[in-house]
Amino acid sequence: MTKDMQDESEIFRGTTTGSTRLRDARSVRGTPKAGMPAFVLGEELADLADSDPRIVVATADLASANRTNDFRDRHPVRFVNFSIAEKNMITAAAGMASTGLVPYVATFASFAAILGAEAIRTDCAYPRMKVRVIGSHSGMSMGFYGSSHHALEDLGMLRCMADLTVVCATDANHLRAILRASVDHPEAMYIRLGRGRDPEVYPSVPQITFGKAARLREGSDLTIITCGSQVRASLDAAELLAGEGISVRVVDMFTISEMDRDEIKAAAEETGAILTVEEHNITGGLGSAVTEVLIDLPRCKFRKHGVPDKYVEVGPPAALYAHYRLNADGVAEVAREFLSV
Amino acid sequence: MTPERNNVSLSVLEEKAKFIRTETVRLSRIAGAGHYSSTFSCAELLATLYYDQMRLEPGQPDWPERDRFVMSKGHAAIGLYPVLADLGFFDPSELDTYTRLGSNYGDHPDMKKVKGIDFSSGSLGHGLSIGVGLALAARMTQRDYRTYVMLGDGELSEGQIWEAANSAGHFGLQNLVAIVDRNGLSIDGHTEDIMTVEPMEDRFGAFGWNVQRIDGHDINAVREAFARLPSGRDGRPQVIIADTVKGRGVAHMEMSLDWHVGNLVGEDYDAVMVELEAGLKPYEPESMA
């Protein structure tokens, strides 16, 4: 492992408010906002709340880590910190939503989705409450904090719930687009975020429609269907493969439920080969959802790529992404293997 | 226009409690099974809440200023549906479909299907958190409705209840009123044998709640407890621990583990209806079947 890989992997340092003053800059534990491009969460919600009194925000003792403190500072009356009590937070948000408010409740994905799954189903989705549960630091982006803090099962657990829209934010601008589109969305939502330093994919805020995938790169030999952190990795892999004469289409399938069946059909018919790439357990997530569509279509070469059905090794995130071949080089390698079979 | 809280006579409320019990028996026969005893224990509480205490507008079920009621012990919905129908939220004849395929009325209440149900329930331990959300929303939107949450005593073993209790105390949600139907039994036995829930006053008190403890079958006591609730949104959340008898009103069901879910048919059905129509007799624990 390179030194770069370790450095790049430092994560979850965003636990100070920014007012900490230390003599040695190297001692600062907080990460400047500019260093966390995708964490525009609190800022964007605060902007939306300026003109929409229905928007309220809650977190579970992670206001600094997920930057909902930016919302708190601007709209303190409409902000609630439930402390480390995620089930109470999600269910109480459902109670608030029943009065017409639109609550956004945010914590780490491992707690929002996995711990909170029953509250999401029973109190948000089933009664069709407009609660937006936001899970940040999803996948294995918490790195060496370990499996208790990873969410590699959340998409699988939540995509089988009726009346719940499940989406993955790709980068900061994409998150802004999702939040803007979410305000009047009629269903409960689960919004999955990365660790907050996700590299840019969308240079400006894109126009999005839930359930409609974004085709980010054209290609004719293979389609990579991906989401979240793996969109950048897949685009970079496609670039590597282009240099070898392999033409790869890349689709950001950011809505996991309901999925864009037409885009999958087009990929099968027009490129004849589909590789799904996801930062999620290989069972039950994006790849599995795509197979459920493919089963009704004529035969097409297909492979799923994700995290094996095991709890992952200890390591910094970048090292883990390399180990599990979920970086550009890894995805390119998997694609080559797949196409050579 | 703000409908005022009512001032209904004791005899009317006694009749309404009887109505809740007889309707529970009638609807259970349609379903072939029903939660008799958990509903009987809260009949006086429900009657007093809905006919005497709550601010409601049945012709306008979504009225934003209405008081909210969350039946956290959702299995007692069978006693709530007839009340909502009687108050005019929907046509009472709809209840003849109770639990039949496609009915709006299941064993646990669905707010999307039943007018007057303020929140869906059934999974125990959630209702108090819903109440916290409703009370917080009242504060954020400057509304003065009150939120009542009916809790079972068995569900106090759910951890989320105490997450909610703690947050209500911390946030000072005085507009939140929990009512514990302390009927003494959960499905597998006496609560204190299965899992300790006492001392309940101390537990809620430690979380910052104002606690009252009353006889939940004494309508006057229930009314007085409601009358003592402070107005205003900010202060201490309020809990009324109502000591009740599971199965109250039918001698062979009182404190019996056999009637959490049951089915009365034929002569048994007729006999129970006659017993209920006669009204409550003094409770005699030694007469337990």
pLDDT score recorded for residue A198: 84
* Three-state DSSP class for residue B46: helix
- Å between B144 CA and nearest CA of chain A: 13
> Average pLDDT of A67-87?
97
Residues in chain B with CB shorter than 8 Å from the CB of A92 are 129-130, 132-133, 136, 164, 167
Residue type, B239: V
Which of the residues A57, A59, A96 would you substitute to probe the B interface, choosing the one with the greatest number of B C-beta atoms within 10 Å?
A96
pLDDT score recorded for residue A9: 40
pTM for this one? 0.94
Q: Which residue on chain B is closest to A79 by alpha carbon? A: B140
Whether B141 sits inside 8 A of A92 (CB atoms) is no
On the 0-12 / 13-18 / 19+ scale of CB atoms within 10 A, B84 is: buried
A269-320 tens-digit pLDDT? 999 999 999 999 999 999 999 999 999 999 999 999 999 999 999 999 999 9
> Average pLDDT of B206-210?
98
C-alpha count within 13 angstroms, C-beta hemisphere, residue A228 = 30
Residue B44 forms contact with A (CB below 8 Å): no
Which CATH number does the domain A214-340 belong to among 3.40.50.740, 2.60.40.1930, 1.10.540.10, 3.40.50.920?
A: 3.40.50.920
Cβ–Cβ under 8 Å, residues A104 and A58 = yes
Confidence label for A5 from pLDDT (cuts 50, 70 and 90): very low
Residues in chain B with CB shorter than 8 Å from the CB of A77 are 140
> Average pLDDT of B15-28?
98
Cβ–Cβ under 8 Å, residues A90 and B167 = no
> Average pLDDT of B170-187?
97
Average pLDDT over chain A reads 91
> Average pLDDT of A217-229?
98
Q: How far apart are CA A319 and CA A323, in angstroms?
A: 6
Contacts of residue B149, defined as CB under 8 A and 6 or more positions apart, other chains included, come to B69, B70, B72, B127, B128, B130, B131, B176, B177, B178, B179
Residues in chain B with CB shorter than 8 Å from the CB of A128 are 112
Long-range contacts, B266-271 (Cβ 8 Å, 24+): B269/B25, B269/B29
pLDDT score recorded for residue B101: 97
Q: How far apart are CA B244 and CA B45, in angstroms?
A: 10
DSSP result, A43-85 = HHHHHHHHH-TTEEEEESS-TTTTSTHHHHHH-GGGEEE--S-
> Average pLDDT of B132-146?
97
Which residue reads 């019990």 in tokens? B21
Q: How far apart are CA A10 and CA B241, in angstroms?
A: 51
pLDDT score recorded for residue A194: 92
Residue A197 or A132, more confident: A132
B63-82 residues touching A, CB cutoff 8 A? 64, 70
pLDDT score recorded for residue B4: 52
Residue type, A241: L
Which of the residues A88, A120, A126 would you substitute to probe the B interface, choosing the one with the greatest number of B C-beta atoms within 10 Å?
A88
Q: Which residue on chain B is closest to A55 by alpha carbon? A: B140
Residues in chain A with CB shorter than 8 Å from the CB of B70 are 95
Residues in chain A with CB shorter than 8 Å from the CB of B140 are 56, 77-78, 96, 101
pLDDT score recorded for residue A300: 95
Pairing of strands A273-281, A222-226: parallel
Map out the domains of chain B as residue ranges: 10-287
Which of A39, A77, A40, A44 has its CA nearest to residue A58? A77
Average pLDDT over chain B reads 95
- Å between B123 CA and nearest CA of chain A: 8
* pLDDT at residue A223 greater than cutoff 80: yes
CATH class entry, domain B10-287: alpha beta
Percentage of chain A exceeding pLDDT 70: 89
Confidence label for A36 from pLDDT (cuts 50, 70 and 90): low
B103-162 residues touching A, CB cutoff 8 A? 110-112, 118-120, 122-123, 126, 129-134, 136-138, 140-141, 143, 159-160
B227-251 tens-digit pLDDT? 999 999 999 999 999 999 999 999 9
Which of B47, B85, B80, B27 has its CA nearest to residue B280? B47
Q: How far is CA B1 from the centre of its chain?
A: 27
pLDDT score recorded for residue A34: 57
Q: How far apart are CA B21 and CA B26, in angstroms?
A: 9
pLDDT score recorded for residue B285: 80
Confidence label for B289 from pLDDT (cuts 50, 70 and 90): very low
Q: What is A9-192's CATH topology? A: Rossmann fold (3.40.50)
Beta pairing partners, B173: B234
* pLDDT at residue A233 greater than cutoff 80: yes
Which residue reads 């240079």 in tokens? A203
Which of B231, B228, B281 has its CA nearest to residue B252? B281
Residue A1 or B59, more confident: B59
Q: How far apart are CA B137 and CA B170, in angstroms?
A: 15
B110, B132, B163: residue with CB nearest A95: B132
A157-204 tens-digit pLDDT? 999 999 999 999 999 999 999 999 999 999 999 999 998 878 899 999
A318-331 tens-digit pLDDT? 999 999 999 999 99
* Backbone phi, psi, residue B150, to 5°: -95, 115
In angstroms, the Cα distances linking A2 to A6, A9, A145, A228, A307 are 7, 11, 20, 25, 22
Q: Which value does ipTM take for this structure? A: 0.95
Which of the residues B62, B68, B114, B140 would you substitute to probe the A interface, choosing the one with the greatest number of A C-beta atoms within 10 Å?
B140
Q: How far apart are CA A26 and CA B79, in angstroms?
A: 65
A42-51 tens-digit pLDDT? 999 999 999 9
Q: Which residue on chain A is closest to B129 by alpha carbon? A: A92
pLDDT score recorded for residue A341: 79
Residue type, B156: L
